[in-house]
Structure 1
Amino acid sequence: MKTLLEVKNLSVSFDVYGGEVQAIRDISFNVKKGEAVAIVGESGSGKSVTAQSIMRLNPSPPSRIKQGSIKFEDQELLSLTERQMQTVRGNKIGMIFQDPMTSLNPTLTVGAQIMEGLIKHQNVSQADAKARAIEMLNLVGIPNPEARIKQYPHQFSGGMRQRVMIAIALACNPSLLIADEPTTALDVTIQAQIMRVMKDLQQKMGTSIILITHDLGVVADVCDRVIVMYAGRIVEQGTKWEIFSNPQHPYTRGLLRSLPRLDQRKDEPLIPIPGTPPDLIKPPAGCSFCARCDEAMKVCVDNDPNLHAIKGSDSHGAACWMLHPYANREVPV
């Protein structure tokens, strides 16, 4: 498959009163056409900043891109002017934001909000835009779309508002859809419905998806590959089968241990990851997960590991010194 999006050596910082928050630290990944990629990790790991950086939505100041490249369809997004980026946002790259109630305009009907992007980017008439808006509401599973297109966001439930957000993001048939925590604050039944809608739309429209979430459980049925982020870095990446069946980084294993399982006994507790993420104003010199890791070695304290390729796979890699061939010679901390 052809590469649609390529992020190389991206570093993003925020200048705040207390110093420089190094939110993203030298990350690289790609998304191919028709592929669904999940970016997972705890709150504050840099997932949303990565998404906002691709869309060029981080306010500057206080944010600044220190280094790196973001290429979409072989076009460097970081070199585009704001006017040029406006032709990309919503048209070629769609985005679903975390909270649909605050992302939707409460003073406009949902139909007007879907039609806005179509009229701006597709240069279609009001009647054609309305017909497309009705089609999109029907596509995302909202009943009686002809009537509901005239309603306001407060007249929709949380799950329905999220479906409206998906309709807005996909109205112009973008090549890439970025979904930033699309199931936050929804109950598990509605979560499953939203994820099913996204998967069905990907298959029907051929849209590539970047799904950003802190919950590994929601990605199993939708995504092809998984990228695990921690403290602004990518600590592991691979296919979903490799991540779920053969996790190599201690942080990934910790995330999986903290998930409830169907085969879990009632008296068997979930195992949380101890400690808290590091302060990204002064990130540690070595491995960011070192202070929370029960496998930490001396080398982890002062040296940050690169992604080590996992033997037998060309897609699986993890940033852990335990994967180094000389790891067993190190003395534990």
Structure 2
Amino acid sequence: MEPILDVRDLKVSFRVRGGEVQAVRGVSFQVNKGEAVAIVGESGSGKSVTAQTIMRLIPSPPSVIKDGSIRFMGEELLTKSEKEMQRIRGKHIGMIFQDPMTSLNPTMTVGRQITEGLIKHQNMSSQSANRRAVEMLKLVGIPNPEDRVRQYPHEFSGGMRQRAMIAIALACNPAMLIADEPTTALDVTIQAQIMQLMKDLQKNLGTSIVLITHDLGVVADMCDRVIVMYAGKVVETGTIREIFKHPKHPYTQGLLRSLPRIDQRKDEPLIPIYGTPPDLIKPPAGCAFTDRCEHAMHVCVLHDYELFRESDTQLVRCWLMHPLAKEAAR
């Protein structure tokens, strides 16, 4: 079965005064129809740049797509014009942005922001689009949707604004939804509600979801696979069970150690990942995680390792997976 999204060897840089920031350095992954995939990693790992490049939303200049391919439903997105991308955004790919207060238009009612895409992509009349807007607000759990469609974003709470963003993204029944840190500005209770809402929508509508987050904890109950990024590269990918139960890359292990657990004792401290990510204007020749890795070897400084296939579904970019390293460990 052909994947709905196929990203191959994507390289994106930003030209700045000090040089060229290599934000995305050869990222490859696939998303199947109806699948939920999480892309996780620290701030600056290239998650959001990857998502915005898929949508063709990064400004150029200063950004430059150096190489790669992004195929969506069999069509190459990187060769499409802005007019062609406008037909795809909203209709075939929806996106939930990180901060709904800055993403929603403060001068337009929430209802009008939902109907805008319906009228443009679905050729609906204003009356039909308004009815659909009410249905969408009801679908995402906003009370009194008939009244709320006439209100402005500042009249909504933070959780309701995020729900409104989801309603806008899903109004045209897109085949894929990209959610970029959708719960960052929300409290824990609202976070759980938003994640459950997205899970229900995926189940009921069959929408493929790409969830961008820095928190592995929010993806455990929702996603099928996890892609771990560090310094612009994919360092590990696998199923939820493989990543949470059998993480192989030291960075993935570090992310999991830094998460609080229900069974954790009060006197048991969390273990942080010490150090900082590398400067991507001059990225290291070898593994970018070397300076922060407790298992680093001399070869890690000189050369980066290719993705090693641990299983049919788990890939790891680490010299510890090399047959000689495994033999030495034994």
Bin of the TM-score, shorter chain as denominator length: over 0.9
What is the CA-CA distance between 1:329 and the residue it aligns to? Answer: 7.3
Deviations 1:18-47 (A, max 9, x none): 000000000110000000000000000000
Q: Which amino acid aligns with 1:327?
A: A
Q: Distance in 2 between matches of 1:118 and 1:204?
A: 20
Deviations 1:129-188 (A, max 9, x none): 001100000000001100111011011110000000000000000000000000011111
C-alpha contact 1:7 1:30 (8 A) present in aligned 2 = yes
Deviations 1:198-229 (A, max 9, x none): 00000111100000000000001110000000
Match of 1:86 in 2: 86
Match of 1:204 in 2: 204
Q: Aligned ranges for residues 164-183 of structure 1 at < 5 Å?
A: 164-183=164-183
User: 4+ runs of 1 displaced by more than 6 Å?
Assistant: none
What is the CA-CA distance between 1:327 and the residue it aligns to? Answer: 1.4
Q: Which amino acid aligns with 1:124?
A: M
Match of 2:300 in 1: 300
Q: Distance in 1 between matches of 2:182 and 2:208?
A: 16
What is the CA-CA distance between 1:2 and the residue it aligns to? Answer: 3.9
Does residue 130 of structure 1 match 2:127?
no
TM-score, normalising length from structure 1? 0.98
Match of 1:3 in 2: 3
Q: Which amino acid aligns with 2:49?
A: V
Does residue 318 of structure 1 match 2:322?
no
Match of 1:327 in 2: 325
Q: Aligned ranges for residues 93-132 of structure 1 at < 5 Å?
A: 93-132=93-132
Q: Distance in 1 between matches of 2:178 and 2:153?
A: 21
Match of 2:42 in 1: 42
Q: Which amino acid aligns with 1:78?
A: L
Matched-pair identity in %: 72
Q: Distance in 2 between matches of 1:166 and 1:135?
A: 13
SS at structure 1 position matched to 2:88:
coil
Q: Distance in 2 between matches of 1:306 and 1:143?
A: 50
C-alpha contact 1:91 1:172 (8 A) present in aligned 2 = yes
Does residue 223 of structure 1 match 2:223?
yes
SS at structure 2 position matched to 1:165:
helix
Q: Distance in 2 between matches of 1:31 and 1:192?
A: 24
Structure 1: state its 5+ residue gaps. none
SS at structure 2 position matched to 1:244:
helix
Q: Distance in 1 between matches of 2:153 and 2:85?
A: 27
Equivalences, count? 329
Q: Distance in 2 between matches of 1:325 and 1:206?
A: 41
TM-score, normalising length from structure 2? 0.98
Q: Which amino acid aligns with 1:325?
A: P
Q: Distance in 1 between matches of 2:27 and 2:104?
A: 31
Q: Distance in 2 between matches of 1:329 and 1:73?
A: 43
